[in-house]
Amino acid sequence: MFWLDGGGSRAWSGRRSILGFLRDEDVSLTYDAAARQVSRHQHGRSEVVGDDVFGALAAEVARDGGDPAVSWVGYLGYACRPDLPAHRGGGAPDAVWMRVRDPLFVDHPPGRPVAGAPRRALDRTTPGWYVDAFAEVQRQLRLGNSYEVNLTYREAVASPVDPVTAYLRLRASSPAPYAGFLRHHGTHLLSSSPERFALVDRDRWLETKPIKGTTPRGDTPERDEEMRHALATDPKYRAENLMIVDLLRNDLSMVCDPGTVTVPVLMEVESYASVHQLVSTVRGRLRPGVGTVEALRALFPAGSMTGAPKLRTMQVVEDVETSPRGPYAGAFGWVGADGRADLGVVIRTLVATPAGEQWHYELGTGGGITVRSDVDEEYAETRWKAERLQSALVPGNDA
């Protein structure tokens, strides 16, 4: 089952929840990136149907013949493109997609303005392994192999808090445009992502809204405004954002009509419960003959989660990171049989699997590194990004 949660939406993302579940006769797909196997599930049986999840999903969508009542809901993990470098392996499937007919739609009233929330004091003690990875990233940047590297890591948490309770806590403390809950064969994905990966509308306009540049909210209105202003004007944050905008303009140009790729919004500050974020918008119109899933593949993974240039930087990421990203840094949302789609980037997200009487949760956190980055500041940023996710897993914590 799934819940694409519109309760924390913004005007640009719509204020509607979409809910649904699979019947026994309904089809779902999963992907194991290490084995390069796409499995098709129906009537309690599974069969391997290919080695490319994008191709398998595109074939299934085409089979639906443009039926507007049919959509596919799920996620693509970071390692879903076998032609790009990435660590592969891990527990959760690298992709899950479910064919849904006639889902339930629920409209939400406009939300209240988002206010800042007090944060706990965090240890700024930067561990040695992060210092070493940061140093290698800096070496690669100074060699000219990358302009910006998104350095991330994973954490595992054991908790008695079940995924439904954890998600309800998360949506209360961190409402977001790409919030949502998905359950499939024992895997649970709990998202509070604020970032759009890709929207494809009825007129075949493709839009992405990369986030690059993040600061915490202030504890007072005055301090909050100082943090917002610093994000909007700091040369480091603006350089990070601009590099990813340029990368995405190139990605869109591969699948869009010449002359249609534009940047209607450049470096706008959006404020959420715990962070201010610097957001841009890049859009273009898909060329005739380019399918929706093909366009998603061209953009995947999100440039904000790799760095620039994409291919070489993904090689650097593979060298310096020590664990597979799994669903983290991928995309989560829906693809319609009629060609429309709307997916967010898998950040601020928990992935849960059962572990005896407890639940095993995994989360990813990180940030963009440039030559001007400071190791202690960057590590501190990863900690307060992860804080809201971790607080949802504390027994008895309803904050």
The catalytically annotated residue of 60, 209, 212, 378 is 212
d(CA 291, CA 297): 10
Residues 6+ apart with CB under 8 A from 197: 208, 296, 299, 302, 331, 333, 343, 344, 345
195 is catalytic: yes
**Cα 77 to Cα 72, 80, 215, distances in angstroms:** 16, 6, 26
- Rounded (10°) angle between helices 128-142 and 310-320: 150
212 is catalytic: yes
Structure tokens at 114: 């988002």
The catalytically annotated residue of 60, 195, 240, 381 is 195
List, by residue number, the catalytic residues. Answer: 195, 212
